[in-house]
Amino acid sequence: MTPTNDGHSPLTSAVSMRVLAHPTRLRLLVLLREHGPQTAAQLGDIVDEAPGTVSYHLAKLASIDLIVAAEPQSADKRERWWKAAAPLTSWDMAELLDDPEKAAASWALQKSIGQAYAARFSDYIDAAPTMPREWVEAGATGDRLLQLTVDELTSLTAEVEALVTRYAEASAGRTDSDAAPVAVVY
């Protein structure tokens, strides 16, 4: 699996989906995407795991091309640096419906991702009272139950993806001191 020209790492096999479904691997991939190149020791400090355990999980992510070796960020030649291969991982759920093994792996991966974002949302709720007021006011949470046709849902999905893509392009490489990571889940 090689990242595409549009910055996606497509998952096409049940094996790759099962590899990524592990909660620690999901977290490591997110950390590499958010913070850039890291070593197993640095990541281990963040996820509270031994560097050897983190190295094992990084090797699994590298085996499906979600992460790649990065240029060393220090003079210590013993350190191995890793970076995310692409800013987004994707797979086509509809394509997997005819293959029970791929469908099961996809559902397991989606469930792991949902649990990871639920935990992250809980962390956000806990942190909101300590955040600057303007950041709390700028954020939003909500849900709506809509009655849509398939065509309307297709259109809504395309519009949401286009909107998120526009902001992702604007935030790429941003180093503004007044910018902060913002999770968009849809």
Give the model confidence (pLDDT) of 136-149 as tens digits.
999 988 889 999 99
Tell me the CATH number at 47. 1.10.10.10
In a domain, 103, yes or no: yes
Rounded Cα distance, 39 and 37, in Å: 7
Give a yes or no: residue 128 inside a domain: yes
- CA-angle at 173, arms to 171 and 178, nearest 5°: 60
What residue numbers bound the domain in which 91 lies?
8-139
Residue with the larger pLDDT of the pair 175 and 134: 134
Cα-based distances in Å from 175 to 2, 81, 133, 136, 171? 27, 21, 22, 21, 9
Residue that has been written with the tokens 């790759």 in this structure: 16
pLDDT digit string, tens, across residues 99-124: 999 999 999 999 999 999 999 999 99
Taking the C-alpha atoms of residue 162 and residue 87, their distance in angstroms, rounded to an integer, is 16
Half-sphere exposure of 23 (CA within 13 A, CB side): 11
CA–CA separation, 81 and 64 (whole Å): 17
DSSP, residue by residue, 3-67: --TTSEEE--SHHHHHHHTSHHHHHHHHHHHHH-SEEHHHHHHHHT--HHHHHHHHHHHHHTTSE
Is the pLDDT assigned to residue 93 strictly greater than 70? Answer: yes
Residue 84 lies in a domain: yes
Residue 185 lies in a domain: no
Is residue 92 in some structural domain?
yes
Does residue 163 form part of some domain? no
Q: Is 51 exposed, middle or buried (0-12, 13-18, 19+ CB in 10 A)?
A: middle
- Identity of residue 83: K
Tell me, letter by letter, the H, E, C secondary structure of 152-178: HHHHHHHHHHHHHHHHHHHHCCCCCCC
* Cα–Cα distance measured from residue 172 to residue 168, given in angstroms and rounded to the nearest whole number: 6
**What pLDDT shows up at residue 8?**
72
pTM given for the model: 0.82
Tally of domains in the chain: 1
Residue 6 has pLDDT above 80, yes or no: no
Pairing of strands 88-90, 8-10: parallel
Residue 66 near residue 83 (C-beta atoms within 8 A): no
The pLDDT, as a whole number, for residue 22 is 96
Model confidence over 166-184: pLDDT tens digits? 998 898 878 888 888 888 8
Residue 144, in any domain of the structure: no
Mean pLDDT over each residue of the chain, to the nearest integer: 91
186 falls within a domain = no
